[in-house]
Amino acid sequence: MARHKNSASCTDTPAALGYRMPAEWEPHAATWLAWPHYHGDWPGKFDPIPWVYAEIIRPLAKHERVELIVNNATTERQARRMLERADALSSNIRFHRWPANRVWLRDSGCLFLKRGTVATARHDSLKGNSSDPALAIKFRFNAWAKYSNWRHDEKIGIQMARVGNASAVRAEAAGKPVVLEGGSIDVNGAGTILTTEECLLSKVQERNPHMARVHYEKLFADYLGAPHTIWLGRGIVGDDTHGHVDDLSRFVARGTVLTMVEPNSKDHNHAPLRANLRRLQSARDQDGKQLTVVELPMPQPVAFEKRRLPASYANFYVANGIVLAPVFNRPNDRIALNTLAELFPAREIVPIYSGDFIWGLGAMHCMTQQQPA
């Protein structure tokens, strides 16, 4: 295990030291975001994007601290001005002037870990503090093996860890750094992780050609405290990440998974989503128990400039007290919001119109990264 300064001994894995990646619904200290500035992610449609950020930051800052990365002083002034106009500027927002290529912190940022079991974490959150030091896993980021402008984003994970007072650990396998994006995995915080074969095992993904299924499973066990992996198959049409799981299936409780389905048998998403559903129905969790699987229909197709976009209700984000839910002005929006309300009865469901935002090929989950309390 390679190290950043102040990290653990290279002979001890995070899991051996008692660390795990918490579930997203566990208490947060903050949510990390990066203010949009790169027009190339929304060619010809950038103007509404900062306003979407204001709609996201306004409810978030009421429930937890927002750590907002801005590209430079000019970007910070623009962000402050827009947030103020949208009644979203708050003392609960901290600005960080760091150069960035893109906004997708789910993939480029570090993954924060916590020490202790789920029960211990619950007890610590009731006390309001924990004496255990924080740890952050830094995977290598190469812009999904597709784009050349990623070198600023590759550095952001270490910067996030420093601000979060977390020791940063660089993930390795067979002595080589591991390329992995946070959107390619989802955890229940109790030892089980979801991922896809298309993203991690496909020969066209160009992330870690030296790694096979067994190597990933060991990586998840050692670095994220998740020794039980559930493999799904393919992702949805329009996803340029080669099948990130956060567009497909998400844990919503320790033993419950929400998964997308496509009822239209003529739609290209029908067969792969049905195959993923069948895998989940036959899967077991870390304790050998059958999962509760909740089906949610995909939004009716969203396209722009004759391109099918990866619009999915699974790309929601769970924060303290709220769930940010992407909606697309489609009839199935109502089903999605009602389903999330049933699954998260103690949280307010905040719909975020993402019809323009999804032109950037990501939504609420892709742009956020949680820092556990």
> Where does the pLDDT of residue 196 fall: very low under 50, low under 70, confident under 90, or very high at 90 and above?
very high
Mean pLDDT value of segment 65-86:
97
Is 366 catalytic? The answer is yes
- Please give the Cα distance from 27 to 12 (Å, whole number): 27
* Sign of the torsion angle spanned by Cα atoms 364, 192, 268, 145: positive
pTM of the model: 0.93
- Asked whether the beta carbons of 88 and 61 are under 8 A apart, the reply is yes
Domain range spanning residue 162? 18-366
pLDDT confidence band for 2 (50 / 70 / 90): very low
Residue 238 lies in a domain: yes
The per-residue pLDDT for 320 is: 98
DSSP code at position 27 = -
Within a domain: 133 = yes
**151: three-class secondary structure by DSSP:** helix
Is residue 4 one of the residues assigned to a domain? no
Share of the chain above pLDDT 70, in %: 93
Distance CA 237, CA 29 (A): 34
**Mean pLDDT, residues 118-146 taken together:** 73
- 11 lies in some domain: no
C-alpha pair distances (Å), 163 with each of 150, 199, 298: 21, 30, 37
Count of domains forming the chain? 1
pLDDT tens digits, one per residue of 13-23: 999 999 999 99
Write the single-letter amino acid at 304.
F
Distance CA 189, CA 166 (A): 19
pLDDT grade, residue 5 (50/70/90)?
very low
Per-residue pLDDT reduced to its tens digit, 231-249: 999 999 999 999 999 999 9
Q: Encode pLDDT of 268-280 as tens digits.
A: 999 999 999 999 9
Asked if 135 and 169 count as a contact pair (C-beta separation under 8 A), the reply is yes
- Does residue 10 belong to any structural domain of this protein? no
Q: Rg of the chain over CA atoms, in angstroms?
A: 19
pLDDT of residue 149: 92
CATH for 61? 3.75.10.10
Confidence grade of residue 203 (pLDDT, cut at 50, 70, 90)? confident
For residue 106, the tally of other CB atoms under 10 A from its CB is 24
182, 141 contact by CB (below 8 A): no
Residue 2 lies in a domain: no
